Structure 1
């Protein structure tokens, strides 16, 4: 089992939205590195949910990968802001989809909300993508990084 961190803007799709709509496609990612990480997710992997672009960016809850990455339907929808005509061309040419979306199932909120500033101040996380590549919307976490976050939250990352 691997651990991941995914970011979402709570006014667009919050942890509570995931709880209500679970399981839900984690769609709309339009960064190639983040997309590649979505492709690597495996069933049962634990996902930490981070609220970003808000008053208090923080890791707020847990989800689990419940379905492997599928073609992201928002990339094929001309009415969606994430529409990408290359996705349609790839699918029409029987190529793998350019953009993908795994299905995540809600687990629970963390016992303690962890502000990103608090995580960035931890020396154990200094080399983490969370600190070095803070803008990346999907990233793997090492076992030690996941353990540090769980410890700070007074929680366990087990489903």
Structure 2
């Protein structure tokens, strides 16, 4: 089992939205490195949910991968802001879809939100994607990173 961190803007899709709509397709990712990480997710992997682009960006909850990445339907929808005409061409040609979306199932909120600023201040996280690639919306977390985050959160981060 691996651990991941995914970011979402709470005004667009919050942890509470995931709780209500669970399981939900984690769609709309349009960064190739983040897409590649979505492709690596396996059933049962634990996902930390981070609220971003808000007053206090923070890790707020846990989810689990409940279905492997499928073609992202928003990339094929001309009415969606994430529309990419190359997705339709890829699918029609029988190629691997350019953009994918796994299903995530809500597990629970953290005992208390963990501000990202606290994580970035920890020397043991200095080499993590969380600090080095702070704008990346999907990233893997190592076991050491998970243990550090769990200590800071006062939460075991277990489902």
TM-score by length of 1: 0.99
Look up the match of 1:15: 15
The whole-number CA distance in structure 1 between the counterparts of 2:44 and 2:152 is 23
The alignment status of 1:152 with 2:146, answered yes or no, reads: no
The whole-number CA distance in structure 2 between the counterparts of 1:131 and 1:2 is 19
Could you report, residue by residue, the CA deviation over 1:92-130 in whole angstroms, capped at 9, with x for unpaired residues?
A: 101110000000000001112111111000111111110
Look up the match of 2:74: 74
The whole-number CA distance in structure 2 between the counterparts of 1:126 and 1:114 is 17
Look up the match of 1:125: 125
Instruction: Give the SS at the match of 1:147.
Output: helix
Q: How does 1:136-151 map to 2 (within 5 A)?
A: 136-151=136-151
The whole-number CA distance in structure 2 between the counterparts of 1:116 and 1:151 is 14
The whole-number CA distance in structure 2 between the counterparts of 1:69 and 1:157 is 23
Structure 1: state its 5+ residue gaps: none
Aligned residues: 159
The whole-number CA distance in structure 1 between the counterparts of 2:149 and 2:4 is 12
Residue 158 of structure 1: CA displacement? Answer: 1.6
The whole-number CA distance in structure 2 between the counterparts of 1:100 and 1:150 is 29
The whole-number CA distance in structure 1 between the counterparts of 2:115 and 2:154 is 14
Residue 20 of structure 1: CA displacement? Answer: 0.2
| Structure 1 runs of 4+ with >3 Å offset | none
Residue 10 of structure 1: CA displacement? Answer: 0.2
Look up the match of 2:110: 110
